[in-house]
Amino acid sequence: MTDVTQLSDEFLLQSSLKNESVVDVSKGKKLVVLPDLQQGSYTSGTVTYDAPATAGSQGYASLKDAYITVPYVVSAKSTGGTDITSGLKRFATTLKCNVTNIVDSLSLEMNGQTVLADGEYRMFWNNLRAQTERSQNDITKHGADAYLYPDDWYSINFSASASGAGDSYSNNQVDNAANLDTTLAQSQENRAFNNGLFNRLCSMLPTVDSTGAVPSWSWPSLGTTATRNIVQQNAKGCFKESDTTIISATKVLGRWIYMLKIRLVDLHPIFKELNLVSNPQFKLRIRFNTGTVKVSGTATTMQLDSVTMTSGQTCPIMVSSAAANQPMNGVLSTGAQVGFGVLQNEYTSVAEVGNYVPYTTTRLNIPFYELRNPSSIINKPIKHIRFNDVYAQYFTKRAGETPDTITGQLNVDFNFQLSGTFKNIKYVALLPFAETSKSHFASAHGTQQFQSPFDSAPWTVMPGASIRNFQVTIGNSNVFSKTHEYDYENFQDEFSKLAAVNGDHTREISNGLIDANKWAYAHRVMVADCPRISEKDVPQSIQVSGINGNATGMNILVLVVYERSMDLDRLTGEVSNL
């Protein structure tokens, strides 16, 4: 072992001898703001940014620092005539963990060439990236703006009928006074408190009072009628209370108007490499999750009736529990519908949102740096870029269907041959989700787990997922010398090393948000690290196999992460050798 005392003394000596050099790289920085090209129409859920508009900007653009700002609105509406006597409270709903879950897909063109293609389910990768790349310190700093407060596993509940937390799997309870389940009945979650959801609810927006007579949070600094002006001028977003005390079918129960910020590097890792480009020529298209969920119930119970997605695959919002001491308790008599979308949804127009946000577009914000001496870029403008990309394929009912009566193990074999071949495969990830055609929802049978407003999916996957005999075959070679049977095998040998500092060999510096318990019970993403057997630049087929050892069916999402490369001229923005 190295002598710690001598290391400490050596550090003191070297720091006393060190001469600080003057760092003087740039002489200016400005932020170029690109509004989208939608011209006020967001019903499709798709927005487009055209970067040639920045061609006259001075300096070098850094997409590594770029981010989009998105006014995203969630609206709740009564489904009855006069079934609710008050509007919803501000803690009735919030976003699911990880702000990138409002994004369904993206595509990127550079210099007229398609660099990133649109594709379903590929954005699920961003949850896995956040879970393995980010650290607890990162959550402390960026958890609020990224809505990155991870959900707990021990708060997950299940009911096949209407209940306080809703039906099917739910993770929406935030009673901080809830005790551990000390009974032997096994009829509830370990504790009815999801700390991640609680923190996201506490990231709540200022309230614009329905009468304009009460300042948000009783703070006099926000005034009474001044609150709306303040949140609009500062782009804070807000919770707009219902304007009426008797809720008819034509009235909205409440509006949550978010001003979200999403870094491009959190949407795809290619943007980490697109830094300091003099003439960035690209077109970026982003499809956002847009739709409506319909919930019915009583003062103490809820159930999901339907989910209608007009754009995308994922419901990015959670509706809080209606159980005792929970935000939705005592609210419903028959039901409500909750719409969500960019700048508008089924129950809120762009014009209405414009009363609470400073602009009614989404925006791409790109910093440009003016270098004092750009000769190093001018003399060598071509940058060879290597980046990871992802392919996704979703298999439904291929690992068993849930029976009418759930008893013993299904033990269903699955064997997937993925469409296409891939070069330079980095890893394959298997994400299990519940197969819900039976015995899950009271009426919304077949609704995907990540479309439920009560569930924390897609940040979490199928609770208690049991996968054994797991194997991935690349070409004609198996990744594992023997199939993975036990929890500790895949977590210790594969998952914990994914994106970890020094391959998880460094204890002093660590990253990753998923521990062994979270992985075993709510994040059981099976990973196969492939570079040891993946042949460089040789297309290879992929086969994924295993056994579903659960008592219910399973839908499986397979992600293939592989390396790509291209050359980028940092002076002209031209792309070659893609």
Contact 302, 318 (CB under 8 A): no
User: Which residues have CB under 8 Å from 269's CB, separation 6+?
Assistant: 129, 387, 388
CA gap 472, 546 in Å, rounded: 9
Contact 250, 84 (CB under 8 A): no
CA gap 393, 457 in Å, rounded: 17
**pLDDT mean by block of 10 residues, the chain; 578 residues:** 76 87 88 93 95 76 96 89 66 97 97 94 98 95 95 96 96 89 76 94 87 84 90 93 66 91 98 93 96 93 97 97 92 86 95 96 96 93 97 97 95 95 96 97 97 98 97 96 95 92 82 95 97 90 97 98 96 92
Residue at token pair 């050892």:
549
What integer pLDDT is reported at residue 179 of this predicted model?
81
What is the DSSP annotation of 131-155? HHH--HHHHHHHTTTTT--PPPSTT
E-assigned strands of 442-484?
467-474, 477-478
What integer pLDDT is reported at residue 289 of this predicted model?
98
What integer pLDDT is reported at residue 245 of this predicted model?
60
User: Which residues have CB under 8 Å from 346's CB, separation 6+?
Assistant: 75, 292, 337, 339
What integer pLDDT is reported at residue 204 of this predicted model?
77
Half-sphere exposure of 318 (CA within 13 A, CB side): 34
Which bin fits 427, alpha (ψ -120 to 50), beta or left (φ > 0)? beta
The three state secondary structure string of 28-72 is EEEEEEEECCCCCCCCCCEEEEEHHHHCCCCCEEECCCCEEEEEE
Its pTM stands at 0.94
Residue at token pair 């309230």:
207
3-state class (DSSP) for residue 179:
coil
**Cis peptide preceding 458, ω within 30 of 0:** yes
What integer pLDDT is reported at residue 58 of this predicted model?
78
Residue at token pair 């194997």:
471
Task: For residue 409, give the amino acid letter.
Answer: Q
**CA distances, 503 to each of 412, 495, 506, 532 (Å):** 33, 10, 8, 15
- At residue 492, φ and ψ (nearest 5 deg) are -70, -40
3-state class (DSSP) for residue 464:
coil
User: Which residues have CB under 8 Å from 58's CB, separation 6+?
Assistant: 28, 30, 368, 370
What integer pLDDT is reported at residue 85 of this predicted model?
56
What integer pLDDT is reported at residue 188 of this predicted model?
77
Residues in the chain: 578
- Residue from 328, 338, 307, 264 nearest 99 by CA: 264
- Residue from 175, 210, 203, 207 nearest 189 by CA: 175
Residues facing 478 on adjacent strands: 473
